[in-house]
Amino acid sequence: MSFQEKSRWIALTANLIVWGWYFVTVAGLLAAGAPDERGLLGLLVPVIIGITIINIIGHIIVAALKPSEARTELDEREKAIARRAAAAGYHILCLGILIALGSTLYYWSAFVAVNAVMLAFILAECVRYSIEILSFRRGLA
């Protein structure tokens, strides 16, 4: 497994765990009776800290195990994989933002809409990481 693939695994895992916790927590609290939305913004602090710590520690460990691999630049195949994955993630992002903005006109508060847009960003990144991982695994370019 290349450093690039390991890096994507770290980022995907961190996003799923930390952002998963955030969105489940926020959805549960909103469903329980619309608490103070400003107070819920405080949940972003542990999310940002958690994502940062997991990514830094994960990448340090992976780079320490094979330092030469961590210093290599992307080859043409890896660049092609990254472009294709980013394009797919972009489509997910656009669709998510359109849904969030459209729903805001009729149903959602601004807080819910902002969280829906954040969810679209996170889903797009998870799709991008997943496509890259699958492409690395299958040897696709």
- The confidence score (pLDDT) of residue 140 equals 67
Residue 29, token pair as written in the block:
């609290």
Model pTM? 0.85
Instruction: Write out pLDDT tens, residues 121-135.
Output: 999 999 999 999 999
Q: 108 pLDDT exceeds 80?
A: no
Residue 36 pLDDT grade (very low, low, confident, very high; cuts 50, 70, 90): confident
Q: What are the angstrom distances between the C-alpha of 29 and each of 26, 36, 37, 115?
A: 5, 9, 10, 13
| Domain boundaries along the sequence of the chain | 3-138
Distance CA 59, CA 39 (A): 32
CA end-to-end span of the chain: 16
Give the three-state DSSP class for 1. Answer: coil
